[in-house]
Amino acid sequence: GIISAAALAGLTSVLLVMLLGSARVLMAMSRDGLLPPVFSAIHPRFQTPYIGTAIVGVFVALMAGFLPLDALLEMTNIGTLFAFCVVCGAVLVMRKINPTAPRPFRCPMVPIVPAAGVIICFLLMCSLPAANWVRLFAWMGLGLAIYFAYGRSHSHLGKAAAA
């Protein structure tokens, strides 16, 4: 009973953090023009991205209601590990292409720590079932389709770089 209660509390906190974090990522992407402006709408009283939060909440509820728990857990695992790989790789790339950029957050022992992060996360990803890789590439394909169909032509940062 105690373990079940702890698992429920842990799962609830992870879902809450994912819900809040995802809505803010969508808001940041919307502010750059990568997504429609509706995602950057801020609630007048609570000062939160309420429409993005509602959209993410409905999406998560639908996924939780219609997909098996194992598939959801594996998708969460591969998505999180892939994000960590990208972040660790970005640390390496940014140190190379823009070494003088201000860094409010520090990474110790560059390039060892980020390279180890990429390798370890990738090895953990390899331990997941093949069907999970198919889902990862499907989601990536969807994201790239949205980017090329909408975000690339609307990005404020992209327009500034082109000018």
Written as six digits, the tokens of 103 are 């860094």
For residue range 51-110, list pLDDT tens digits in order.
999 999 998 889 888 988 888 888 888 988 999 999 999 999 999 999 898 988 888 998
Furthest-apart CA atoms within the chain: distance in Å: 61
Q: What are phi and psi of 146, to 5 degrees?
A: -65, -45
DSSP 3-state of 105: coil
For residue range 23-41, list pLDDT tens digits in order.
999 999 999 999 999 999 9
Q: At what angle do helices 69-97 and 112-126 cross, to 10 degrees?
A: 160
